[in-house]
Structure 1
Amino acid sequence: MLDIPSPVRVDVETLLAAQNHMGVCDAFAQYAPVGKPDAMTAPHFPKVAGIDSTVPPPAHTVAPASPTPAPPPSSSAAPGALIQDRLAGWVSDLTTLHELTERLARTATLDDALHEMLRAGAALVGARRGLLALEPADGLGPDTTVGLGLARSDLGHLETVPRAATSYGQILDRAEQSDKPEVHADLLSEDGLDPRHREVAVRLGYAASFALPLATTAAGRLGAVVWLYDEPAEPVERQRHLVGLYTRYATEHLARMLELERTRAKSRTIAEELLPSRLPRIADVQLAARHRTGPRGGGDWYDALPLPEGALGLAVGSITGSGASAVAAMGRLRASLRAYAVMEGEDPVAVLSDLELLLRLTEPARSATALFAYCEPALRKMVLAGAGHSPPLVIGERRTEFIETSLSAPLGMLACWEAPSVEFSPEPGETVLLYTDGLLHRTGDPMDRAFARLHAAAVGVPRTIRDDPGAIADHILHTVLPDGLDAADSNEDVVLLAARFE
């Protein structure tokens, strides 16, 4: 046993003997870099617990000439101290990788994951800037390019460089999949460098690059990532080893996020296709609609359909659940309401009664809210009925108020649904706004405060836009849901249907 004057005692013989058995040293050896830590051109990486969430400045911008090898340890040096330093370096590297992968795993969207991977990789290789080109080999997309420390105009300049002349382009165009990096330690001194690439590199101020492919066994090629150095440089062996380990994990995570993003996009597309592609043109009334679908796809819907004798049917509704099954159920419910409206639209109570019976027989595990209005624009007359739905809002010069409808349970909640309808006559120039509860729920406020916020937004509609139902709907949407809440990912869909009567 060596007596090492250190907070940690190391039993050298026990440590060396343990290397022949499965244990902690095997884990260290698995992640140990090939070169010695002392051979790095950059200072030793701090533990990630001390790394700021933003990308730290690069450890170096110029790689010195061949690093001076460390002098051999003197005979007086304690063997235990050397082993202790090596173990400390390995533990620091493992801690760094663990923290960076934890931060990546906490990303909720594909875009967040792409930016987090760029930041973490830049910290590992000692670079300040970079870009990631996502281009799945299956051609299903999405294809995108994100940058780190590069403005949108900088990315535009890079796109003018011939693809085959860029390091990421060379990776993406490889005939065979390979994990070999593309290293350009002194880009501007290379013979045969594309003139446009040289011009852009000088303009943007980078002189070296290090690129890695992004690929998995299951998903194949996903894209390529490249980090840019301000001056001639390249990662040393230890940095390459660490960024290689991180990139392999990050690529698997990107593949999962990519599949999730594609599923969400399909759900949104299906939901949008099940809604009206355009609103009808009806005399004496102007129509506008706004729809925001949550990431999993929800069951909120709207409809506006011409009826016999110049009448118009307006409807909004929401079915319980989310995802593909809720979207499909929403499509069936909307199609059924259209059929009932054509047959007996002048009686909204009969329309909703038929819809309730159909829902109870075909979708017994679901419930739905709905509001249907039979409009005669020439007479400025509306007859409407609601089943557990929020009351419409009328917006005009002389009044801004909710149209009181009879209280009723949602469809599918009672053995037999029926509630009286109400008749309403809008004044010339007034707009009737139909909406779903998602508009209120996304505020995060209790319902009474959410209704008050909606009413205040309607009162505050500027006079200059009161003759445009689309502008009114946009104003209310952005006022009730400020700071991007109208576009943020949420489990709540939002539907607004505005009808302005002449």
Structure 2
Amino acid sequence: MASNAPVGKPTDMSSPRLPKVAGIDSTVPAPPHTVTPLPGVPSAASPSDAALPPGVLIQDRLASWVSDLTTLHELTERLIKTDSLDGALREMLGAGAALVGARRGMAVLEPADGLGPTSTIGLGLAHADLGTIETVPRGSGSYGRLLDGLPEADPPGSGLPDAEPPGAGLPGNSPTAPRRPARVPEPIAIRDVRTEEGLDPRHREVAARLGYAASYALPLATEEAGRLGAAVWLYDEPAEPDERRRHLIGLYGRFATEHLARLLQVERARARVATVAEELLPSRLPRVPGVRLAVRHLTGPQGGGDWYDALPLPEGALGLAVGSVYGTGPSALAAMGRLRASLRAYAVMEGEDPVAVLSDLELLLRLTEPARSATALFAYAEPAQRRIVLAGAGHAPPLVVGDHRTEFVETSLSAPLGMLTCWEAPSVELSPAPGETVLLYTDGLLRRTGDATDRAFARLHAAAASVPRADRSDPGAVADHVLRTLLPGGLDPAVEGEDVVLLAARFE
């Protein structure tokens, strides 16, 4: 973050400049040992204050307050634009360094509930430096003392429970006293590591090795959110922030903690959705002679309803399926699980006829979930004969990749399941040559590119055709190359709710 970068001579490195905002020059001169007040703040003990007319003094103080508020507004505006825990922690570290007048720092994310995620982010510190700091005994380090002391329970005999017992507030149960919010400890300032009493010798040793002389630790906690972690800023010389800087970093820290708490909830929700989606899909792909399988599944933030399946069938046959349920979230995931389980049952009973399999699936969907629609493609493969019979319902055609051809399978146009009174479409038969790979994929692979449909198909074809010859013997390498080429930046965040499924089958 350029606005938080320190400037000036080496002696200035512990006191970076705050951003210049609202026409107020917020340059912070660098003192030899202590950090100066924020820009525009007159010294409380300045002898010149008595000589200033009351109106001038009030104007100076008002200008100082406006400057402080403007700076906080700019920093919090930048913070709320972050949409990930890692990005928010890095932004908070940089802004905090400018507010307290430090050059380096670290943030530790360690929620008190133990549900994670946990991480450590550094500012001006290499990964090895963070590891060195973590060798300091936890009880001696300032951030460790903050983490171990958050949140603090009510003292015995206070009469206020930490939480309401089960059933409290229900009819017939007596009301209980409200829960007391978790108390937040004060920040910890170590003005001089060399002379601070009670520090572990390892703490002094690490400080000397990394070249810092003082630190200021702030708890990332509020009464409502509880403990999320702690932030520590490191000074090159003995120093500590003055009262005004402490006040500003305290305000900013509380706002940052609430923002981190919201991002933490979103991150945990995404992780739960991704876990449910993975559990509804095959835990491993079957091994069938004559064919090698690989799959890549990328889950969007909200969790879509894309699925895949590979099912061994009698007489060495193999059923391959991909599909997508319209919608996102838990409802789409549940519908996806039901649809996939039903398709497996129909595939076992009449897998040789993919049209019959999809017809039964469409009838079930129309009777049980009339408001739901889905796309699906089912292929009945006989690896020994290198023969595939497939049918699709509103689904994108497979792509055959080999040394001598890269082409889409010609399938007839058909409506998605649940869209018509009676679904019907002819099946298609193809015979892959030895060494060719058949790619089955969901529409999310095309939509995630952000391109129009025709261009997305053209890009997919070009990506498959550019697979290096050395990688074509490995279906996993083929799938990885296609994904890297088609989605070089990963999933496009502008396209919400779209999962990506890419199933590759290489025939020997």
Give the TM bin, normalised by the shorter chain.
Answer: 0.7 to 0.9
Please state whether the residue corresponding to 2:229 is helix, strand or coil.
strand
Q: Secondary structure at 1:453's aligned position in 2?
A: helix
Q: Alpha carbons of 1:294 and 1:131: their partners in 2 closer, same or farther (altered >3 Å)?
A: same
Indicate which of 25, 28, 46 corresponds to 1:70.
46
Alignment identity in percent? 74
Q: Determine the structure 1 residue equivalent to 2:160.
A: none
1:325 corresponds, among 325, 331, 337, to: 331
SS in 2 for 1:140: coil
Residue 102 in structure 1 maps to residue 77 in structure 2: yes
1:85 is paired with a residue of what secondary structure?
Answer: helix
Amino acid at match of 1:63: T
Q: Do the aligned partners of residues 468 and 157 (structure 1) sit closer, same or farther apart at CA in structure 2, a change above 3 Å counting? A: same
CA contact (8 A) 1:46 1:92 kept: no
Match of residue 123, structure 2, among 148, 162, 165: 148
User: Closer, same or farther in 2 for the Cα pair 1:366/1:164, shift >3 Å?
Assistant: same
Match of 1:408 among 409, 414, 428: 414
Decide whether aligned partners of structure 1 residues 229 and 42 sit closer, same or farther in structure 2, where only a CA change above 3 A counts. Answer: closer
Q: Separation in 2 of the partners of 1:274 and 1:476?
A: 25
User: 1:382 offset after TM fit, Å?
Assistant: 0.4
| Aligned-partner Cα distance in 2 for 1:64–1:110 | 30
SS at match of 1:131: strand
Q: Which residue of 1 aligns with 2:240?
A: 234
How many residue pairs are counted as aligned between the two chains? 458
- In 2, Cα distance between equivalents of 1:115 and 1:273: 33
Contact 1:132 1:147 in 2 (8 A): yes
The superposition leaves residues 216-271 of structure 1 with CA deviations (integer Å, 9 ceiling, x where unpaired) of: 22332111111111111100000000111111111111111111111111001111
Q: Given the alignment, which residue of 112, 118, 122 partners 2:93?
A: 118
Counterpart of 2:139 in 1: which secondary structure?
helix
1:437 aligns with 2:413: no
Question: Cα RMSD between the aligned structures?
Answer: 2.4
- Find out whether 1:167 has 2:136 as its counterpart: no
Provide structure 1 residue ranges, at least 5 long, that are not aligned to the other structure: 1-40
Amino acid at match of 1:254: L
**What CA distance in whole angstroms lies between the structure 1 residues aligned with 2:212 and 2:84?**
30
Structure 1 residues 404 and 209: CA distance shift in structure 2, 3 A: same
Distance 1:223 1:428, change over 3 A: same
Letter in 2 for 1:392: P
Structure 1 length-normalised TM: 0.86
Note closer, same or farther for the CA distance 1:451–1:59 as it changes in structure 2 (3 Å cut): farther
Counterparts in 2 of 1:359-438, with a 5 A limit?
359-438=365-444
Amino acid at match of 2:303: G
Partner residue in 2 for 1:80: 55
| TM-score normalized with structure 2 length | 0.85
| Structure 2 CA distance for partners of 1:51 and 1:137, relative to 1, 3 Å | farther
Report the CA distance between 1:316 and its aligned residue: 0.4
- Once the two structures are superposed, the pairs formed by residues 23-42 of structure 1 within 5 Å of their partners are none
CA deviation string 1:444-468 (max 9, x = no partner):
1111111111111111111111111
Amino acid across the alignment from 2:454: D
Q: Which amino acid aligns with 1:317?
A: G
Quote the offset at 1:482 in angstroms: 1.3
The answer on 1:196 being equivalent to 2:224 is: no
The structure 2 residue matched to 1:215, chosen from 210, 221, 227, is: 221
1:294-319, Cα deviation, whole Å (9 max, x unpaired): 01111111000101111100000111
Q: Which residue of 2 aligns with 1:92?
A: 67
Q: Using a 3 Å threshold, how does the CA distance of structure 1 residues 58 and 294 change in structure 2: closer, same or farther? A: farther
Distance 1:69 1:366, change over 3 A: same
Work out which of the residue numbers 453, 458, 461 in structure 1 matches 2:464: 458
The aligned residue for residue 250 of structure 2 is 244
